[in-house]
Structure 1
Amino acid sequence: MRAIQITGFGGPEVLRLTELPDPVAGPGQLLVDVAAAGVNYADTHTVEDSYLSSSTLPLVPGGEVAGRTADGRRVVALTDNGGYAEKAAVHESLAHDVPAQVSDAQALALVVQGVTAWHLLRTSSRLAHGESVVVHAAAGGTGSLAVQLAKEFGAGRVIATASDRAKRDLAVELGADVAVDPAPEGLKERLVEANGGSPVDVVLEMTGGPVFDASLAALAPFGRLVTYGMASRQPATPVEPARLMGRSRAVVGFWLAHCLGRPGMFHEPLAELLDMTAKGTLKPQVGGVYPLSGAARAHQDLRSRRTRGKLVLDVRR
C-alpha cells in the first residue's frame, strides 16, 4: 500500500511517500480501506516527537481515518498512528458508523476536533447558560466547531480570535458575536473590551506562551481557562496557586486520549455531533483537501497558519 512514513523526527520535510506492506487486523480490530485521513495539529508534534506521548520510529503518522470495512460499513475511526495510508487497522471500539448525509471530510472534522470542542465546553469548562466564551484560533478545525457549539449550548457572548480579517469574518459568520486579533500584546484588554468591559467566564486556549498568560489575566472570578494545545511551542508563565486563589480562577487541561476508555465520553458526543451535522445544525468547515503525497504541504500550511477548518488527505490521490 502507499503510505506516508517518517524514519527520523523533524519538520514537514521528513514526511515521505513510500510503499509498505498492508497492515493486518489483530483481535478486536477492523481493517479499513481508507478513503480520507484527517490532519491535526497534534500530528505536527508527533512528527517532531514533541507531543504529550512519545513516538517510536519508523512511523506512519495520522490519528484518524474515514473509509469502509471489509463488510461494507462506512466508518470514521481513531488510530494509534498509521492513518496516512491506504489501509489502516483500527480498534473496533474506536470506529463509528457515518450517516449517509455526512461526508468523509465532515466526519473527520468531528472525530477528534468536534469531540474535543464538545468536551471543552461540556466537560472541562462546564459552560453555564449566558456565560461568555473566548475561542482562540476560531477559524481552525476545533475553534470553528467550538464557536458553533458554544452558541448551541447557550453561551451569552462568544468572542473569537483569529490571525487575519478573513478568518475573523468566518468566525462571525459561524456565530461569534465579535472577533479580535490574537496578538499577545494588548490581548487581555481586547478580550475585556469585546466582552463589554467585563472579564470573561471561559477561555478555550490552544496556543500557549503569552496568549495563555493574557487569557488567564482576562478571566473573571470563577472563570475557567481550558488549555488543550501548545501551538506556539512557547512556555507560559508558571501558574502559582495564589494567582488562581486571588481571583477564584481555574486552569483546566484537556487531552482527548483520556476520554477514549471512559463510557459515554467518545461515541455519545460523536453521535450527537454527526446527527447535528446530518441535520445541518452544525457545519464542519473543510479547509483543504490534499493528495496523500501532499502531506508535507498540509503540515507546512497548518504550521504557518495559512489554513482554516479541517485539513484532509485524499488517500485515493
Structure 2
Amino acid sequence: MRAIQQVEFGGPEVLELVDIPVPEPAEGQVLIEVSRAGINFADTHQREDGYVQKQHLPLIPGGEVAGVRADTGERVVALTGHGGYAQFAVAPADKTFPIPDGLDDGAALALLIQGLTAWHLYRTCARIAPGGEESVLVVSGAGGVGSLAVQLGQAMGAGRVIATASSEEKRELCLELGADVAIDGDASDADALRDRILGANHGREVDVVLEMAGGPLFDVALRAMADMGRMVVYGISSREQNEVRTGRLLKRSQSVIGFWLFHYLERREHLEVPLAELFALAAEGVVNAVVGETYALSDARRAQEDLVARRTRGKLLLDPSR
C-alpha cells in the first residue's frame, strides 16, 4: 500500500511516499480502508519529535481517518494515534465510530479530533455558565477547531462570541459561522490588539479565551481577560511557550487550563457522548463542519507546509487514492 513515512525527524522534507505492506490488526483492533486522513497541527509537532508524547521511528503520521471497516464494510471514523497517512490503517475498536447516513466522510472527520476538542473546551474546561451572559474569545476562528468553537458557542450557552483571524476573508468566514465580531489577531502591537478585543466586547474584558497560538497573542489575551475568567490552552501553533505569574491569577481569580485531547481517549464515554451530540447538531444544521482543501497523499509535505504557514482554513484532508 502507499503511505507517507519518515525515518528521521525534521522539516516537511522528511515525509516520504513509500510502498509498504498493509498492516495486520492485532486483538482489539480493526483494519480500515482509508478514504480520507485528517491533517492536524499535532502532525507537524510529531514530525519534529516536539510533541507532548515522545515519538518513535519509523513513523507514519496521521492520528485520525475516515473510511470503511475491512471486516464489516461499515463507514467509520477512527482515532489511530499514528498510521493515518496511508491507504490502510489499524485503529482500536473502541476508538472507532460509525458515520451516520447523510454525513460525508470529510465532514465526519472534521467533527472527530477538532469537534471533540471544541466540545471539551466548552463543557469540560471552560464550564460556560448557562444563560448566554459570558463572552468567549476564539483564537483562530477560521481554523479546524476554531470554526467549530465559533459555531458551538450559542449551543453551549455562551453569550457574545468574538473570533480572531489573520485575513479579511477568514474574518468574513467567522462571521458567516456565527461569530458576533471577527477581529485581526495580529499581536505585533499588543496594546492595539487588546483594544480590538475589548472594543469587540463593548469595552469589557472577555470571560473565556480558547487559545491555541501561544507567544505574544497568549499574553495579550490574558491581559484582556476579566476577573474570574478562564483561558483554555489547547495548542502552541507559534511554538512560543509562555509563563504566567501566579500572583496575577490570585489577584484576579483567573484560571489558565491546559487541554490535551489524548488524556480523554482512555474512556469511551469521553468520546462517544460528545461525538453523538456533535453528529446530532450537524444533522440539525446547527454545526456545519468547514472542510478545507483535500490534498493528494503524495502532497503531504505541501499540506503540512500550508497548515503551518496559515494558508488554509477549516479541516484539511488527505486522499490516499492520489
TM-score (norm: length of structure 1) = 0.98
Q: 1:213 offset after TM fit, Å?
A: 0.7
Task: Return 287-296 or 262-271, whichever deviates more.
Answer: 262-271
Residue of structure 2 aligned with 1:233, choices 235, 239, 247: 239
> How many angstroms apart in 2 are the aligned matches of 1:305 and 1:80?
24
In structure 2, the partner of 1:260 is 265
Residue by residue, what CA displacement relative to the aligned partner does 1:189-210 show, whole Å, maximum 9, x if unpaired? 2111111001100000000011
In structure 1, the partner of 2:201 is 195
Residue by residue, what CA displacement relative to the aligned partner does 1:173-226 show, whole Å, maximum 9, x if unpaired? 000000111111222221111110011000000000111111111110100000
In structure 1, the partner of 2:320 is 315
> How many angstroms apart in 2 are the aligned matches of 1:22 and 1:264?
30
Equivalent residues in 2 for 1:85-96 (5 A)? 85-96=86-97
Corresponding letter in the other structure for 2:47: V
CA RMSD of aligned residues (A): 0.9
2:16 counterpart of 1:16: yes
> How many angstroms apart in 2 are the aligned matches of 1:71 and 1:198?
54
List, as ranges, runs of 4+ consecutive aligned residues in structure 1 with deviation greater than 6 Å.
none
Preserved contact between residue 95 and residue 268 of structure 2 (Cα < 8 Å): no
Equivalent residues in 2 for 1:33-112 (5 A)? 33-69=33-69, 70-112=71-113
Residue by residue, what CA displacement relative to the aligned partner does 1:18-53 show, whole Å, maximum 9, x if unpaired? 001110000100000111100011111111111111
Task: Return 178-187 or 215-224, whichever deviates more.
Answer: 178-187
Cα gap change, 1:40/1:241 in structure 2, threshold over 3 Å: closer, same or farther? same
2:160 counterpart of 1:157: yes
Task: Return 168-177 or 268-277, whichever deviates more.
Answer: 268-277
Preserved contact between residue 140 and residue 146 of structure 2 (Cα < 8 Å): yes
> How many angstroms apart in 2 are the aligned matches of 1:263 and 1:287?
28
Residue of structure 2 aligned with 1:286, choices 284, 287, 291: 291
TM-score (norm: length of structure 2) = 0.96
Identity %: 54
> How many angstroms apart in 2 are the aligned matches of 1:35 and 1:141?
19
Listed as ranges, the gaps of 5+ residues in structure 1 are: none
Matched residue SS, 1:145 = helix
Preserved contact between residue 94 and residue 268 of structure 2 (Cα < 8 Å): no
> How many angstroms apart in 2 are the aligned matches of 1:139 and 1:152?
18
Matched residue SS, 1:266 = helix
Q: Between Structure 1 and Structure 2, how many residues are aligned?
A: 316
Corresponding letter in the other structure for 1:156: G
In structure 2, the partner of 1:302 is 307
Q: 1:280 offset after TM fit, Å?
A: 1.9
2:178 counterpart of 1:175: yes
